[in-house]
Amino acid sequence: MRCFIAIPLPGDFSGDLDKELSANGFKYKFKKNYWHITLKFISNIDNRGYLRLKKILKEISETSRVFQISCYKIDYFPSSKNHRYIAVYLVKNKSLKSLYERLQNEINWSGKKTDLRFKPHITLVKIKNEKNKFNKIIFKMMCKVKMINIYESRPRADGPYYKLLCSFNLKK
């Protein structure tokens, strides 16, 4: 099974983001119910690995507190020159970085050096061809991170399908 660990976006954040995109003439098709902040992608995992992953996330969630995140722009990702996606850029903060690094270190089953470079973002859409030009949007908003989820990712011709497998609430 292909899965990933992510932070789901609260409904009010998704709603405000949707309004901002519409107000700025965003011309790309997107699946807003799929918006999330990816923390770790795990390409293939068997049932034993999945159970181990759940145990690790349970431990991490029990020792991690709810925290705030904020965004500052919507732009091409990973950069305006080398772009494959359009994303919401998040302000780096200690809590988000700490959670990311902890996951990278705890779920390093390959034994390879862990990549701790982190560009926190929310992918809105993958760009397949550049029909519509996109202009950067300044978008500032905050929301609370209250949980982390495990999703299964199934590739499809019309884009990936994400299935929520389980959720873990952070400490209040």
Proportion of the chain above pLDDT 90, given as a percent: 40
Q: Please give the average per-residue pLDDT across 66-75, as a whole number.
A: 93
Facing residues of 23 across strands?
none
Structure tokens at 106: 């705890």
Supply the pLDDT for residue 127: 78
Q: What is the pLDDT of residues 133-168, one digit of tens each?
A: 777 888 899 999 999 999 999 988 877 889 999 999
Most confident of 1-5, 107-111, 113-117: 1-5
Query: pTM for the full model?
Result: 0.86
Facing residues of 168 across strands?
148
Q: Where are the beta strands (DSSP E) in 20-62?
A: 36-42
CATH number for the 3-169 domain, one of 1.10.240.10, 3.40.50.11810, 3.40.50.970, 3.90.1140.10? 3.90.1140.10
Q: What is the pLDDT of residues 9-18, one digit of tens each?
A: 887 888 888 8
Query: Sign (positive/negative) of CA torsion 157, 131, 38, 35?
Result: negative
